[in-house]
Amino acid sequence: MDEPENQQALRRENESAVLLAQAGYRVAQNPTVAGTTRNPDYLIENRVFDCYAPTNSKPRAIATTLEGKIKKGQAQRFILNLEDSSVDITALQQQFTQYPVAGLQEVIIIKHQQVIPFIP
């Protein structure tokens, strides 16, 4: 976790937790989830979420990463912190609409310090 990109990811995870709490969400960071060996980033409103903070601006690459996390059983709900990405949110919405990701249940975006419910 000493690599600069890992440190930045951890900063974005922490930042996201604060912003979600300020927006009124009940957030537990790095919770223990009974009956599983998963190590989720958050429990938000009693639902497991993983944080992903991409640095690329390609909607397909972002969707593919989320799809991989779902297939590995990491999570089905995501906090997508876009503070380090210049991806166009409309293009991202089109990506998920035209090419739905199987198993994806919920995405909340963090952009410009704002919390944006995205999917559903």
Among the listed residues 50, 72, 83, 88, the single catalytic one is 50
Out of 2, 3, 5, 13, the active site residue is 13
Beta-carbon count within 10 A of 9 CB: 20
**In what order do the strands lie in the sheet containing 27-29?**
27-29, 42-44, 47-52, 77-81, 106-111, 114-119
Active site residue 50: yes
CA distance 78 to 36: 18
Q: Are 83 and 92 in contact (CB under 8 A)?
A: no
Please tell me which residue in 41, 45, 58, 106 is annotated as part of the active site. 41
* Identity of the residue numbered 8: Q
Q: Which of the residues 2, 67, 69, 111 is marked catalytic?
A: 69
Question: Is residue 13 annotated as part of the catalytic site, yes or no?
Answer: yes
Tokens (6 digits) for 39: 């190590």
Q: Which residues are identified as catalytic?
A: 13, 41, 50, 69
